[in-house]
Amino acid sequence: MAEVIDRAATVPDVELAHVRYPSNGYDVPAFLARPLGSGPSPGVIVGQEAFGLTDHIEDVAANLAREGYVALAPDYYARTGGPTPREDVPAIMAAVDRIDNPTVAGDFLNAVAYLVDRGLAAPERVGTIGFCTGGTYSMLLAIEKPDLACAVLFYVSQLTYPELNERKPYHPIDRAGDIRCPTLVIYGDEDPVGTPERLARLEDNLKKGSVPYEFKLYAGANHAFLNPDAWLYHEEAARQAWPDALRYLARYLKG
């Protein structure tokens, strides 16, 4: 059963709800935002930041619904516990390290199936948008689902890992050549995660996939610059980047 969010009344023509969907023997909690009305809509899987399934991520989903998309944001912390207080960066990184990437990639794949099987999203018009660590899992979705329509990746935080193990069996940056959908990569030009070396390596691997891709760097912006609740919020960059992301989604999900 869906738990409908009361504040839906403040977002005209949009239904907001906490839901659960099945994935590998587990019911994954997620936030669903969809336009009211009948028939499937273009779908977007939303990858939350390392801070968790926060009001900011729910607002992103709600804003996508206002644009005509059905948006589903899985809680990738649900299986392992979290999130931690955003002030405790080492604890956040430890929580992220506990996540099993193949399992969460499966959860994102099953998020697509949830939307399609219920007739909420058109199967050929499902994309993803992810932020920070959620950008990592949106990227893994694009890697593991060749028929995804498009991916918008905001400041992916874990292109590489200190070491590979069962939980992190490959560096996402090394599998970027397996992405078969149009991809928009977004960073602030002061983000220490998106170094010139990493972005060049990412671009080299994306080229191997022979699919359209774009890189956008926003002047003066650091990590998590779109989140108005984060200390690195950059208003000017956010006002540019969000419309850019919407135009990209519309090109491949509505066009």
Active site residues: 132, 191, 223
- Cα 172 to the center of its chain, rounded Å: 14
- Cα 175 to the center of its chain, rounded Å: 17
The DSSP output letter for 48 is: P
Locus of tokens 């994102």: 108
- The CA R_g of the chain, rounded to the nearest whole Å, is 17
Please provide residue 253's backbone torsions phi and psi, each rounded to the nearest 5 degrees: -105, -20
**Secondary structure element (H or E) that encloses residue 60, with its range:** helix 55-66
Helix (H, G, I), strand (E, B) or coil at 149: coil
Class of residue 134 by CB neighbours under 10 A (exposed 0-12, middle 13-18, buried 19+): buried
Pair 80, 99: CB distance under 8 Å: yes
